Structure 1
């Protein structure tokens, strides 16, 4: 996938029955299905059961089994509630009748009310001054660890620009936070809010678990730590323009019991808070 249109084709599911859908997978460099893809496809299934114009405001999910890239994924939608203001859906994902993922999503009608938000950091470097993953591959490809180089070589529909580039050969602990600018490749002008929310959810599974390793970077890295997403929750606040850079500002309050917890806020370039994300993941040191 090299553009937002390619990504949309993957996320837009094939409808099998009224509340049953099927999707394919594309690799992001992992041997298993990317969690962000399953999240976004499940939301696509849930949204297609909403006929009253309500907009997604929150979702909560659990990853139960690793997904097989070579098998289609079946999504079954359960209609839990259609109230006067909110609609709730439950989505299960399976492969060969094995349950791999569950999601609950809530949709809300448009209403007027109070409004406030947490401000974006003022000291964050602008994206124009930073290197993207593609730039890093071009400039440092021959000196990068093989696993990192192979990961960066995968074509992606999103460009990422971290505000801090860490040296993988420097064994030192890092601050418990991370800021990454991102921008979709291609023109997103034609996409409605529902589709943009699905694509934003796909993107939200990038980078977030990495910040939980920061406080242990002197000894822990992707090569000696077994990692996997365990759960993922997200809250959606406002509409946004996908044709400009957006900032994913993340931190990690805790790691313990071979698990790491991370959270983040997603802002537009001009500081409008669009969404919040939390994730806990397995972080098991390998013997």
Structure 2
């Protein structure tokens, strides 16, 4: 397949090898570790495959325990914790080469009518995505061309990402910057009509830029990086149905960074300003000079 969106759908199409056991493909990438969003998305697929399908995911809570190895399959073991009248709960353990690398608990909720209705609006008005360059276009405009390594990544990137305030290339651009960032995103091609696929695709995308908000007060988003960054845990709450192949605004902020860890919160809106998903993630930030342990 040459279309990155088709590759994403294929990546999320797990092989069932037992009643509660699934195997996920892990592409051979030129990366130190498997992308965390891939593991989260595949684990959520495994959880969803063991439900009746009439209850959408309403939340997930996950821990990244060890870095996964690119090119090595990942096995997802599902525990059927609960099948209630309104809620279904699944616990998923991701194992690679005999070691647990990731844990996820997902809850599914039968849709209900009524109750309290309110939401926070988007933090500010932003330009429409059509008026902004993609990341690749912004880099080409700034450098004159895309470096070969980034060209390969861009060809495989399943999401079109457009930074509302640009990549912030210099320290002068981030002087006095608040720990906030915002991007428009959408899959680069159609993802079909299965809502679970869209939910898992968005779980994949949610790990892409969220920790940018932690970095912004101390370093530009482009250029040499002073930190080795790794996701530690990830939580999402899904409020409304959505399509990940339509534009959504990912508004991100970091309330605190201390002790080598940074916390980031994200709110995902559609073009009409409806809040679709809430996200919280903590990341590990180590200077490159710090000793690197085998488990993170």
Say yes or no: TM over 0.5. Answer: yes
Task: Return closer, same or farther for 1:149/1:66 CA change in 2, 3 Å cut-off.
Answer: same
Who is 1:5 aligned against? 6
Separation of aligned partners in 2, 1:29 and 1:237: 35
The 5 A counterparts of 1:104-183 are 104-113=105-114, 114-142=116-144, 149=150, 153-171=154-172, 172-173=174-175, 174-183=177-186
Separation of aligned partners in 2, 1:262 and 1:120: 16
Secondary structure of the residue aligned to 1:103 is strand
Give the deviation of 1:149 after TM superposition: 4.3
Who is 1:209 aligned against? 211
Separation of aligned partners in 1, 2:139 and 2:85: 51
Separation of aligned partners in 2, 1:134 and 1:209: 19
Conserved in 1, the CA contact under 8 Å of 2:4 and 2:156? no
Who is 2:98 aligned against? 97
Task: Return closer, same or farther for 1:242/1:226 CA change in 2, 3 Å cut-off.
Answer: closer
- What count of residue pairs does the alignment treat as equivalent? 285
Who is 1:265 aligned against? 267
Deviations 1:92-149 (CA, angstroms, capped at 9, x unpaired):
00111100000000011111122211112342111111110121243234478x6994
In structure 2, runs of 5+ residues without a counterpart are 290-296
Who is 1:192 aligned against? 194
Separation of aligned partners in 2, 1:201 and 1:222: 27
Who is 2:18 aligned against? 17
Give the deviation of 1:152 after TM superposition: 5.5
Separation of aligned partners in 2, 1:208 and 1:89: 25
Alpha-carbon RMSD across the aligned residues, in angstroms, is: 2.4
Secondary structure of the residue aligned to 1:78 is strand
TM norm structure 1: 0.91
Separation of aligned partners in 1, 2:24 and 2:228: 27
TM norm structure 2: 0.89
Separation of aligned partners in 2, 1:112 and 1:222: 50
Choose which of 225, 228, 251 in structure 1 pairs with 2:227: 225
Conserved in 2, the CA contact under 8 Å of 1:3 and 1:185? yes
